[in-house]
Amino acid sequence: MLAEALDAYVDTARKVGNPSSLHAAGRDARRLVEESRERIAAVLGARPSEVIFTSGGTESDNLAVKGIFWARERPRLIASAVEHHAVMDSVAWLAAHQRATVHWLGVDHRGRVDPDALAEIVDEHGDEIAMISVQWANNEVGTLQPVPELSALAARAGIPLHTDAVQAAGAVPVDFAASGAAALTISGHKLGGPVGVGALLLGRDVPCTPVLHGGGQERDVRSGTLDAPGMVAFAVAVEVAVKNQQESATRLAVLRDDLIARVLDAVPGAVLNGDPADRLPGNAHFSFPGCEGDALLMLLDAQDVACSTGSACSAGVAEPSHVLLAMGADDDNARSSLRFTLGHDSTDTDVEALLAALPGAVERARRAAAWKTPR
């Protein structure tokens, strides 16, 4: 957590945890939550009433997809094929259990959706489409989507578009009003705030049925007593992240491009995944054909170089990423990939350390993959 956010969390927890009276405590907590709402709205181009606090990105995505689908009572849904599981599995669940018809929007080899493909589906099925969900930035390969263009297209047909901006907020400029999206997901821990806190920015006139029913605390769309210290820390983190966004993005992009160039240079056969230009400033994602990503990760781990493979199932088995498969990779190439993430504390020294370890590790992992071929 960002130091400012952590301080804010602790200060607030001490304050609201130490009330002079029960009544005053409730009032204090409410005031702090509302102030946080205003602060977040102010830096993300939203109205305070459009900020629905949730327990994080997963809940916000579920609420947007299911809530808008339910409220609009139309049979079709559109989502990109590279969504985070929080969106993808919500959509798939609606298809499996609530008879939703899903149109998965394919992506090109850089991971970008094609606005014309969206336009085609919208033209053909306009009235039957409940909602559209296309992420702002991909959490694996870092590719950015043309959200304003897609939103405009959706808005012309009167269809709400939700965008998962968990990875984008704080990393690239994100403005809810300017984006034209009907709903937008953000998550605390991706911005330097606490885990377990997030928000759905939800346009005032976008219908949305609750997923969590109860006291109706959040505009009757979301229920549950809010964690005031969490909200305050979240607001501080969002403010700091947005304030530093440009400077940090500029610095990270330089570091990232250096890392990418040097990896491509030092490792024979390495391939950069995602869009070379339109990508998250801190994201570098490669395939190392002939390696297994999990073997490589293990070798780099042992040298204190942090990286990650795609997703793993609940037993921990690395699975070929649906993102890479959607981008046209085959199973083996998808399994040979690795992501390096640069953050506010990353420096040249980290890039040096990575390059010192990587070529040897790739060579070794390639040799280790040879056992897979039939003996």
Partner 1 sequence: MRILAAMSGGVDSAVAAARAAQDGHDVTGVHLALARNPQTYRSGARGCCTLEDARDARRAADVIGIPFYVWDMAEEFHASVVDDFVAEYAAGRTPNPCLRCNEKIKFAAVLDRAVALGFDAVVTGHHARLGADGLLRRSVDAAKDQSYVLAVLTREQLDRSMFPLGDSTKAQVRAEAAARGLAVAEKPDSHDICFIADGDTRGFLAARLGEAPGDIVDAHTGDTLGTHRGAYAYTVGQRKGLDLRTPAEDGRPRYVLSITPKTNTVTVGSREDLAVHRVTGERAVWHGERTPVECEVQLRAHGEVVPAVVTVDGAGLTAELRVPARGVAAGQAVVAYRSDAAGDVVLGSATITTDRADD
Ligand X SMILES: Cc1ncc(COP(=O)(O)O)c(C=O)c1O
- Which residues, 94 to 153, sit near ligand X by CB under 6 A? 135, 139
**134 contacts: CB under 8 Å, gap ≥ 6:** 79, 80, 83, 105, 113, 118, 145, 147, 150, 161, 162, 163
Assess contact for 85 and 65: CB atoms under 8 A.
no
The tokens describing 357, both together, are: 């370890």
- Which residues, 312 to 341, sit near partner 1 by CB under 8 A? 312-318
313 is known as an active-site residue = yes
57 contacts ligand X (rule: CB under 6 A): yes
Minimum Å gap between C-beta 330 and partner 1 is 15
358 contacts partner 1 (rule: CB under 8 A): no
Residues 211, 216, 219, 220, CA torsion sign: positive
Minimum Å gap between C-beta 317 and ligand X is 19
Q: How far is CA 39 from CA 78, 175, 242, in A?
A: 32, 14, 11
Q: Judged by CB, which is closer to ligand X: 65, or 361?
A: 65
Helix (H) / strand (E) element for 12: namely helix 3-16
Q: Judged by CB, which is closer to ligand X: 199, or 249?
A: 199
Minimum Å gap between C-beta 130 and ligand X is 20
Backbone phi and psi for residue 201, each to the nearest 5 degrees, phi listed first: -85, 120
Backbone phi and psi for residue 29, each to the nearest 5 degrees, phi listed first: -60, -45
Mutual angle of helices 3-16 and 228-266, in 10-degree steps = 160
301 contacts partner 1 (rule: CB under 8 A): yes
Helix (H) / strand (E) element for 182: namely none
Mark the segment that binds partner 1 (CB under 8 A) among 42-50, 144-152, 326-334, 367-375: 367-375
- Which residues, 267 to 296, sit near partner 1 by CB under 8 A? 294-295
Backbone phi and psi for residue 274, each to the nearest 5 degrees, phi listed first: 95, -175
Tell me which of ligand X, partner 1, none is bound by residue 65, counting a contact when its beta carbon lies within the kind-specific cut-off of 5 to 8 angstroms. none
Helix (H) / strand (E) element for 3: namely helix 3-16
Q: Judged by CB, which is closer to partner 1: 78, or 329?
A: 329
Assess contact for 266 and 355: CB atoms under 8 A.
yes
Enumerate the β-bridge partners of residue 141: none
Among residues 208, 291, 307, 313, which one is catalytic? 313
164 contacts partner 1 (rule: CB under 8 A): no
Tell me which of partner 1, ligand X, none is bound by residue 86, counting a contact when its beta carbon lies within the kind-specific cut-off of 5 to 8 angstroms. ligand X
Report the C-alpha gap between 118 and 115 in whole angstroms.
5
Mark the segment that binds partner 1 (CB under 8 A) among 18-26, 86-94, 311-319, 341-349: 311-319
Please identify which residue in 12, 187, 287, 336 interacts with ligand X, judged by CB under 6 A.
Answer: 187
368 contacts partner 1 (rule: CB under 8 A): yes
Report the C-alpha gap between 113 and 134 in whole angstroms.
9
Binding residues for ligand X (CB under 6 A): 56-58, 61, 84, 86, 135, 139, 164, 166-167, 187, 189, 198
Binding residues for partner 1 (CB under 8 A): 294-295, 297-299, 301-302, 312-318, 364-365, 367-368, 370-371, 375
